[in-house]
Chain A
Amino acid sequence: DAGVTQSPTHLIKTRGQHVTLRCSPISGHKSVSWYQQVLGQGPQFIFQYYEKEERGRGNFPDRFSARQFPNYSSELNVNALLLGDSALYLCASSLATGGKSEKLFFGSGTQLSVL
């Protein structure tokens, strides 16, 4: 079975540009979450989507947005890129939301570099 897939794997952008990152969850998983991981830090929560609705949002500016499609895949969009947005962006999927055992399965991430 395929795991969580993310594209692209690497991306280089310049300040002020826009970026779209894509994620396909494990088959049967309806919840997708996005995390940002800066080098040397643990992942930080950005968004959670379940059944195409936003169920949670972390402490990130409005430049960050996301959506989930009917096939449960998801996109993360970041506008007006800043140097500080350089990080590994991780997508994770799980079976459901709000349950006790929200075991998240992570993709390999998209490494974003902003120059």
Chain B
Amino acid sequence: EDQVTQSPEALRLQEGESSSLNCSYTVSGLRGLFWYRQDPGKGPEFLFTLYSAGEEKEKERLKATLTKKESFLHITAPKPEDSATYLCAVYNTDKLIFGTGTRLQVFP
């Protein structure tokens, strides 16, 4: 059964303190791994799609990487506005299968 596990559940960082979020997955034939950002009371906002091991994508302070079993979302020198829940998902035929997310809080 396809499954996505994210860790840690919650992460508190000081502004400027870099860290990484983990997404482990098991899927029969990866057709895309997605990262979304979700603010409270809002829908998920698309960040990245990765398709094959070794692929990397960057956007501002965020960098996503992919291996055959997991993906990392690296946050470099975060700012308070980066505070949100970060969701990882894998695409399977007709749907996205999401993890439970990592709730990130960045303090000034």
- Interface size of A by Cβ–Cβ distance < 8 Å? 29
Which residue in chain B gives the minimum CB-CB distance to A54?
A: B94
B100 on the A face (CB < 8 A): yes
**Complex interface: chain B residues within 8 A of A33 (CB):** 95
Shortest distance between the CB of A38 and any CB in chain B (Å): 10
Count chain B residues whose beta carbon lies closer than 8 angstroms to a beta carbon of A: 25
Q: A43-B96, A48-B94, A55-B94 are in contact. Are A102 and B42 (CB under 8 A)?
A: no
Q: Tell me whether B80 is interfacial, beta carbon within 8 Å.
A: no
Considering only residues 72-115 of chain A, those with a C-beta below 8 Å from chain B are: 88, 90, 92, 97-98, 100-109, 111
Q: Kindly state whether residue B107 has any CB partner on chain A within 8 Å.
A: no
Answer yes or no: B78 CB below 8 A from chain A CBs.
no
State whether the Cβ of B97 lies closer than 8 Å to any Cβ in chain A.
Answer: yes
B57 contacts the other chain (Cβ, under 8 Å)?
no
B51, A108: Cβ atoms closer than 8 Å: no
For the residues of A in contact with B, the DSSP-based class is: loop
Query: How far, in angstroms, from A105 to B96 measured CA to CA in the complex?
Result: 12
Contact residues in B for A4 (Cβ distance below 8 Å) = 43
User: Which among B45, B46, B95 has the greatest number of chain A C-beta atoms within 10 A?
Assistant: B95
For the complex, what is the distance from the CA of A89 to the CA of B91, rounded to whole Å?
19
- Cβ-neighbour of A104 out of B31, B93, B96 (below 8 A): B96
Cα A88 to Cα B43 with chains together (Å): 9
Q: Say yes or no for B75: interface residue by CB 8 A criterion.
A: no
List the 5 shortest-distance A-B pairs measured between CB atoms, nearest first: A42-B98, A56-B94, A106-B43, A45-B95, A106-B44
Interface residues of A (CB under 8 A from B): 4, 33, 35, 40-45, 48, 55-56, 58, 88, 90, 92, 97-98, 100-109, 111
A–B pairs, 30, beta carbons within 8 Å: A4-B43, A35-B96, A40-B100, A41-B100, A42-B4, A42-B87, A42-B89, A42-B99, A42-B100, A42-B101, A43-B96, A43-B98, A45-B96, A55-B94, A56-B94, A90-B43, A100-B32, A100-B51, A101-B51, A102-B32, A103-B46, A104-B46, A106-B43, A106-B44, A106-B45, A108-B41, A108-B42, A108-B43, A109-B42, A111-B41
